[in-house]
Chain A
């Protein structure tokens, strides 16, 4: 009797949330799909069937080509940079040095700040002005005699987006460090000690024992960072504003929908973004939940 009452109550308790998620996530995705297959241009909704024309239009749209190129450059630089830096920092912090906690907190603090603040500050650090108006990091490099490092940052043709990725690395590498550090703490001390007894060098221990054990961490970090870079939006806006050379799908969607009222096209970009994220995240969710169930 109470069993049944409890079961009913538990369903009553969670159903508002479940319903909200079903409507606001899945219902809205379906609604977006419908908009993406419509002719909707302008302020008033127009659900006239347009087939896949919005999608086909995007793939022959030069702006969308720039977006794909920029997303690829950003993803490679940001993911590789964050992984390498995060791993390096985690290994450094795993050496039992004094002040470890302090450095760990320091490397992680950018995670607490918004992409907007990061972007606004890095906009000035990466000021591309040259000559007598030089400032920011360029000025610092020049004062330190490192003139070969002076560059045009986010105004560099084609590769400008990589400069924004640098700001993203600053923000997120601490997170990768935290993931790796948690992984390193999970390596049994006996394994390291046994290898030391066998005469392995520190480098060999990392190369042959620890790195293989960290492979799952690398995979999770890769997926989390990869999906973040597909969604990158506010950091670029705050660093450089809306500029075609630094355009990405998320910005294109926002601008074409809310500035240009091309709702059909905007929805199509949103759905393509969703598909690209789903390809990464669904297998990740599946394997994580499966291994959890096995424990």
Chain B
């Protein structure tokens, strides 16, 4: 009975696929609408026939959406890539020091940093805008990159700290016995095995900066809008038809969806780190 394990016991559970498939339909519904509407020709678009499959695969909507949104998609890439890279490097250095080199006050500093990850940004928004104005970074992409880098420090530091904490102390001790100083220990021992943590943090920062709306809408002027702000504006306008909006939504979702499809495992680890579950 005990050794019989799961198999015979669960064989009769095929009915469990019914709720699973119903839920799968629920999660796919928005994707279905985005794609079927996107592939319809302009002549087929009618709210009454919203749920029908397209008669062919026409790209009119995607082309129209891309023509409107292309500059903003590039703004997003230009902002997200440096933001993700810089905050990963900072996170790695901080995580290393916090995990392996106890310095006085670290036990107070770490929770203080972590709290920064949960604050509602409305509570720092006015000073942030004033600060960006004063240093002349208001309105453009560099200011937005700076905001994402700084407010990304808590989560990137946490992820790297947990990763480095899981690496055996002996490894670091041995390097020190051999006369390696701190920087050498980091460079030759820890950095070469940091790739998994870098992937987690890079895609986490990529996704959250790509999906951010609040910082973007407050800190950038129209020519520097990232895709989220442009898409929201497009959806609010009466001129652009809903079928183009659906195609535009899909374009805005594709980069992070691709990251999720190909690197989902690492994405999940980032999610768990966000709940402080290492």
Could you mark each residue 223-258 of chain A with 1 if its beta carbon is under 8 Å from any beta carbon of chain B, else 0? 010010011011001100100000001100110011
A31-B127 contact given A5-B181, A96-B6, A109-B27, CB 8 Å threshold: yes
Complex Cα–Cα for A173 and B111 (A): 27
Task: Select B153's contact among A20, A96, A249, beta carbons within 8 Å.
Answer: A20
Q: Are A112 and B256 in contact, with the CB atoms below 8 A? A: yes
B255's closest neighbor in chain A, by CB? A112
Structural contact, A112 and B259, CB atoms closer than 8 A: yes
21 A-B pairs within 8 Å (CB atoms) are namely A16-B90, A17-B94, A21-B154, A32-B123, A92-B16, A96-B6, A103-B24, A112-B260, A117-B231, A120-B231, A120-B249, A129-B47, A174-B27, A193-B2, A237-B213, A253-B125, A254-B217, A270-B123, A271-B123, A285-B118, A289-B111
- Give A255 to B73 CA distance when docked, in angstroms: 26
B130 touches A115 (CB 8 A): no
CB of B187 closer than 8 Å to a CB of A: no
**Do B127 and A32 touch (CB < 8 A)?**
yes
Is A21 a contact partner of B116 (Cβ separation < 8 A)?
yes
Please classify how large the interface on chain B is, using the bins under 10, 10 to 19, 20 to 34, 35 or more.
35 or more
A223: nearest chain-B partner, CB-CB: B275
| Contact digits for B260-275, partner A, Cβ 8 Å, 1 yes 0 no | 1000100110011011
Cβ of A24 under 8 Å from chain B: yes
Known: A31-B124, A95-B13, A127-B47. 14 other contacts (CB 8 A): A5-B181, A14-B97, A22-B112, A95-B16, A112-B256, A113-B256, A116-B211, A120-B235, A123-B235, A178-B268, A182-B277, A249-B122, A277-B120, A286-B111
Measured between beta carbons, the chain B residues less than 8 angstroms from A26 are 112
B239 interface residue (CB < 8 Å to A): no
User: CA separation between A269 and B121, bound complex, in Å?
Assistant: 11
Residue A56, interface by CB 8 Å: no
- B10, B103, B183 — most chain A CB neighbours (10 Å): B103
Q: Is B168 an interface residue (CB 8 A)?
A: no
The closest CB in chain B to the CB of A113 belongs to B253
Bitwise interface map of B from 192 to 216 toward A, beta carbon under 8 Å scored 1, else 0: 0000000000000001001111100
Please tell me if B144 contacts chain A, counting CB pairs below 8 Å. Answer: no
For B9-27 the 0/1 string (1 means CB < 8 A from A) is: 1100100110110011011
* Majority secondary structure, A binding face: helix
**Cα(A273)–Cα(B123), bound, Å:** 7
A111 to B260, CA, bound (A): 9
Q: Which A residues have a C-beta under 8 Å from some C-beta of B?
A: 2, 5-7, 9-11, 13-14, 16-18, 20-22, 24-29, 31-32, 35, 45, 85, 88-89, 92-93, 95-97, 103, 105-125, 127, 129, 132-136, 139-140, 143, 170, 174-175, 178-179, 182, 193, 196-197, 220-221, 224, 227, 230-231, 233-234, 237-238, 241, 249-250, 253-254, 257-258, 263, 266-267, 269-271, 273-274, 277-278, 281-282, 284-286, 288-289
Main secondary structure of the interface of B (DSSP, over half): helix
With a CB–CB cut-off of 8 A, which chain B residues contact A93?
20
- Chain A's closest residue to B203 (CB) is A112
In the complex with contacts A112-B260, A182-B272, A270-B120, A139-B48 CB distance below 8 A = yes
Q: Determine if B213 and A135 form an interchain contact, defined as CB atoms under 8 angstroms apart.
A: no
A97 touches B17 (CB 8 A): yes
Among residues 70 to 120 in chain B, which have CB atoms less than 8 Å away from a CB atom of chain A?
A: 90, 93-94, 96-98, 101, 103, 109-116, 118-120
Q: Are A254's CB and B218's CB within 8 A?
A: yes
In the bound complex, how far is the Cα of B232 from the Cα of A119, in angstroms?
A: 9
Beta-carbon contact of A139 and B214 below 8 Å: no
- B220 lies within 8 A of chain A by Cβ: no
